[in-house]
Amino acid sequence: MNSLALPTALPEDIGLSSARLDRLTQLMQDEVAHGRVPGAVALIARRGKIGYFECYGYCDPVKGTPMSKDAIFRIYSMTKPIVTVAAMMLFEQGRILLGDPVRNICRNSGICKSRLRAAIRSIWCPRRVR
């Protein structure tokens, strides 16, 4: 299966680490095994190619229906995924470090508008971005 008709590639061919992706796989399997997550789908693409596309756990844990790569999820709040993507974009640009306290990012960078600042604070502050 291929998402959005993107070609697939070996992780190393697009700058990803198979060893680190294996750690992600193990983490997700552990989350399912401990009952913290019923199921999940992870897709990582870089340079226009999919380097990692896996599913874990169950779509319906009660019925035992396994998760599929084409599962549809209801997202109740978009604030967290949007802010997370924005933070990763800033990290890639070298404008923030992942260990920086969010309050410093908002105070020092001038990149946060008041509504975005409030959204970020409601999610992360005073914790670190990690």
Of the residues 17, 18, 77, 122, which is catalytic?
Answer: 77
Q: Give the separation between CA 7 and CA 48, rounded to whole angstroms.
A: 7
d(CA 111, CA 39): 35
Residue 29, burial from CB neighbour count under 10 angstroms (0-12, 13-18, 19+):
middle
Q: Which residue has the tokens 């756990």?
A: 57
Rounded CA separation 103/39 (Å): 33
Tell me whether residue 18 is one of the annotated catalytic residues: no
Burial of 120 (0-12, 13-18, 19+ CB in 10 A): buried
- What amino acid positions are annotated as catalytic residues? 77
